[in-house]
């Protein structure tokens, strides 16, 4: 799970001069949940 501090750090980075070359990017701050493949639920 992503913490509020991690989301704040991503927002701080994107609003800082260090992100000047970041354009048109989607930054997923989701703790890797987008890459998770959940198994379908097997009904008995």
Condensed to tens digits (0 to 9), the pLDDT of residues 4-20 reads: 898 898 889 989 999 99
Nearest to 9 by CA among 35, 27, 34, 32: 27
Nearest to 14 by CA among 23, 5, 1: 23
In angstroms, the CA 35 to CA 6 distance is 18
pLDDT at 17: 95
In angstroms, the CA 19 to CA 17 distance is 5
Q: In the structure, what pLDDT confidence band is assigned to residue 42 with cuts at 50, 70 and 90?
A: confident
Phi-psi category of residue 27: left, alpha or beta, with phi > 0 → left and psi -120 to 50 → alpha: beta
Q: What is the mean pLDDT of residues 9-34?
A: 83
Q: Quick check: 35 pLDDT over 90?
A: no
Q: Identify whether the C-beta of residue 29 lies closer than 8 Å to the C-beta of residue 2.
A: yes
Q: What is the mean pLDDT of residues 7-34?
A: 83
């Amino acid at each position: 799970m992503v913490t509020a501090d991690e989301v704040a750090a991503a927002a701080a980075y994107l609003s800082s001069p260090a992100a000047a070359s970041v354009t048109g990017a989607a930054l997923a701050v989701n703790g890797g949940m987008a890459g998770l493949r959940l198994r379908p639920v097997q009904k008995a």
